[in-house]
Amino acid sequence: MRVPTVVVPTDTARATALLLLALCVAPATRAQATGPAPIYTCTDASGKKLTSDRPIVECNAREQRVLNADGSVKSVRQPTMTADERAAAEEREREAIADRSRQQEAVRRDRNLLARFPNEAAHRKQRELALDDVRKALRQSEARLIALASERKPLTDEAEFYVGKQLPLKLKLALDANDASVEAQKSLQQNQQIEVLRIDKLYDTEFERLKKLWGGAQPGSLGVIAGAAPAPPARSK
């Protein structure tokens, strides 16, 4: 019986065979891994429809649709912005962030209002406490003005003896000092009256907002809070 001859490939032949096999498999592997190339399509400034397998330079300033192989829209490529357009877009984004921050702050402050003032009686009590110190200061200013008027009377009585004459220096200085004190006290009193009006206005605005919140309005749904009424100073026990 004759034994068949077996040809054993040399190292060179084996390497060549492996290389040919790799070359045949690689394209199919790449195609399977990457999938079909996207299709870019757009209409240029002249109205002509353009199509390419990559972003279309002629349509950089226009919207481009990216299609799948079956023609369905995969995504939309937005126009490339100019420096001015980018600056405007960034400004809009900053404004949007600021708006969101203001809205969050409005929600937080509305919730704090509801926590501080669960009802009208609580808010009214807080208003009176906030006004108490200012009203007390007003009463002190009024008392001081009365005292200054009393101090001035003997000075003016004495000045009557010098009608048409030069006042003694001591008397003149006393009258000038009294005038300056009265002017300063009246200015202080005016500021205190303005503060009473300011506090009342803030609490009025706050109360109108609270009525809506007590009625069921959601915190933050009433817009940004312009100001908040001040809390009264802590009182010693």
Range of the domain at 184: 99-214
Classify residue 9: in a domain, yes or no: no
Nearest one of 17, 82, 74, 89 to 41, comparing CA atoms: 74
CB neighbours of residue 48 within 10 Å: 9
Domain count, the chain: 1
Domain assignment of residue 10, yes or no: no
Per residue in 36-90, pLDDT (tens digit) is 788 999 998 889 999 999 999 989 888 999 999 888 999 999 888 888 888 998 9
Is there a domain that residue 15 lies in? no
Structural domain includes residue 71 = no
3-state SS, residue 118: coil
- pTM given for the model: 0.56
pLDDT digits (tens, 9 = 90+) for 110-140: 999 999 999 999 999 999 999 999 999 999 9
Q: How far apart are CA 205 and CA 164, in angstroms?
A: 57
Q: At what angle do helices 169-214 and 120-159 cross, to 10 degrees?
A: 170
Whether 64 maps to a domain, the answer reads no
79 lies in a domain? no
Is residue 132 in some structural domain?
yes
